[in-house]
Structure 1
Amino acid sequence: MATIHPTALVDPHAELDTDVEIGPYTIVGPHVRIGAGTRVAAHCVIEGRTTIGPHNRIYPFVSLGLPSQDKKYAGEPCELVIGARNTIREYSTYHIGTVQGGGVTRLGDDNWMMAYTHLAHDCVVGNHCIFANNAQLAGHVQVGDWVILGGFTVVHQFVRIGAHAMTAMCALLFADVPPFVMAQGQPAQARSMNFEGLRRRGFGPERIAAVKAMHKALYREGLTLPQADERIAALAQRYPAAHDDLALMRSFLAGVDPQRGIVRSRRGAEA
């Protein structure tokens, strides 16, 4: 049975799995579902059509599942879906989606979300990400797996951040960040690739060399994005062990909005 503090207000229609813990003065609404082993600390608010998977740790003063801050939202039955084994620290705020964005805001599995992080409506965050304090996503942002956002990173609406990318503290993102890229600045520029992070995740020398070659094509040869994509496609024969990494980059580049583009380095050409 779930353990609910006597001061908590849990709607009788909420669905709490086994071993769920609800702390003092926390409020849980009628459409909430919480998976086994999840612990919700004191003074949290979980409302709306919110589904939380198993074994999450939710710290005090977190707000989940409230209506989006989109003025077009008119009370439609949209959702917030949170996966498994996430840590969500104090004062974080994650809103439900909107019908214009598919209706679902989604956080994957095994993410480490520090204090004051914000997921606006219709954001999709992958797995194994780290958001440092005050990392903020506007609506419709997409974040791949293994992304690290430095403290006070601010992401404009509809921006995409590719897998294994990283931002420095106070980065301001108006353009897409391709996979593996490290970005810094206001507005953010590409500084390098996340080589140390890749090594820690088990990338071997050939895969690291392929990432370096992709960085060169994107940022060091003065190529347009279509030209860089052709250069990256040609790397497959040279780096067979990096087939999936090359495919990841090419898939990401195929989805870049020409009006938004990607973060560029000071020496890079425009798309």
Structure 2
Amino acid sequence: MHAVDKPGPTVIHPTALVAPGASIGQGVRIGPWCSVGPDVVIEDNVELISHVVVDGRTRLGAASRYFPFCTVGMAPQDLKYKGEATSCEIGPRTVVREHVTIHRGTATGAGVTHVGADGLIMANAHVAHDCTLGDRVIIVNNVVMGGHVNIGDDARIMGSAAIHQFVRIGHAALVGGVAGVEADVIPYGSVLGNRARLIGLHWIWLRRNGVQSDEIHRMRKAFLTLYPKDGGDAPFAARLETVRQTFDDERVREILRFIDAPSRRGLVRPARCGADWADTEGA
């Protein structure tokens, strides 16, 4: 649980434009030259530092912060969008840095763009319409994503990565810098390259988050079963069933559920048959 600061006075700079109808919580700070639309809801202790534009049916979660020249809740870059009443939601304590653009959803999609709690979206990144970002997600500078992208909790997307529309990024996955991601990334997976290819597990996250060595060892065995070093003779479906019958770890089951779920894009696979997962362990 995060400590919640007691809200102080709300301060709106005289150069800021706050439309009638906007809902402003306690302890909100709206800095110079910001613009807040009539359907915006700003929860307690939010800070708009300066030159921030918030529009549409947008809710800014408590204690979130917005740096100069970012825009949140603007109309989507979708030619099918005809002004429908769609929305955008930003979770509590999330930080949105300079020149980030986060667009609201579309009527032909989910209708909402959602960014979870405790996230960090670094400068010049773009979160497109109908995207869903989980909690504690970090998006590094210049990342771009198409519409309808789904990014799981704790994922890390490194600088200048480009994510194709409808791609799913699993829980705690790592996307390397300047990667072009056109297919789904399994939970705890690590991908690099253009086009992105699976190179191993996100070992750093696993170790930093208290996953014990024996469980990491079993996860590695499960991955080597799915993607054997020599490429294997059995088809992927058979290897998948072997993992299903052999491993009972919750994180392995999470990966299996992700693979089993409907997908518009398929899965990112290793760069070559026989990618050696062990090469990345402990990196």
* TM-score, scaled relative to structure 2: 0.89
Q: Which residue of 1 aligns with 2:219?
A: 211
Structure 1 position 231 matched with structure 2 position 271? no
User: Which residue number in structure 2 is paired with residue 144 of structure 1?
Assistant: 152
The answer to whether the Cα contact below 8 Å between 2:184 and 2:265 also exists between their aligned partners in 1 is yes
1:96 to 95, 104, 114: 104
Match of 1:262 among 267, 274, 281: 267
Following superposition, the deviation at residue 226 of structure 1 comes to 2.5
Asked if structure 2 preserves the Cα contact closer than 8 Å seen for 1:171 and 1:186, the reply is yes
Matched, 1:43 2:63: no
* Contact 1:180–1:211 (8 Å) recurs in 2: no
Comparing 44-53 and 219-228, the one that deviates more: 219-228
Q: Which residue of 2 aligns with 1:246?
A: 252
Find the counterpart in structure 1 of residue 277 from structure 2.
none
Root-mean-square deviation (CA, aligned residues, Å) is 1.5
Indicate how the Cα distance of structure 1 residues 47 and 263 shifts in structure 2: closer, same or farther if over 3 A, else same: same
Q: Please tell me whether the aligned partners of residues 166 and 265 of structure 2 are also in contact (alpha carbons under 8 angstroms).
A: no
Q: What is the CA distance between 1:217 and its match in structure 2?
A: 2.6
Report how many residues are paired: 263
Would the aligned equivalents of 1:25 and 1:43 in 2 still touch at CA under 8 Å?
yes
- 2:207 partner letter: R
Contact 1:51 1:82 in 2 (8 A): yes
Structure 1 residue 216: deviation in Å? Answer: 1.2
Q: Say if 2:53 and 2:70, in contact at 8 Å, map to a contact too.
A: yes
Report deviation, 1:224.
4.1
* TM-score for both structures, normalised by structure 1: 0.93
Q: Give the unaligned 5+ runs of structure 2.
A: 1-8, 275-283
1:227, distance to aligned residue in structure 2 (A): 2.4
Shift of 1:66: 0.6
Q: Distance in 2 between matches of 1:231 and 1:206?
A: 20
Q: Does 1:32 align with 2:44?
A: no
> Secondary structure at the residue paired with 2:258?
helix
Q: Distance in 1 between matches of 2:146 and 2:158?
A: 16
> What is the aligned-residue identity percentage?
37
Which of structure 1's runs of 4+ aligned residues deviate more than 4 A? none
Measure the CA separation in 2 of the matches of 1:170 and 1:266.
16
SS in 1 for 2:240: helix
The corresponding residue for 2:130 is 122
Please tell me whether the aligned partners of residues 229 and 253 of structure 1 are also in contact (alpha carbons under 8 angstroms). no
> Could you say what secondary structure the match of 2:38 adopts?
coil
> What aligned pairs does 1:76-95 form with structure 2 within 5 A after superposition?
76-95=84-103
- Are the aligned partners of 1:218 and 1:268 in contact in 2 as well (CA < 8 Å)? no
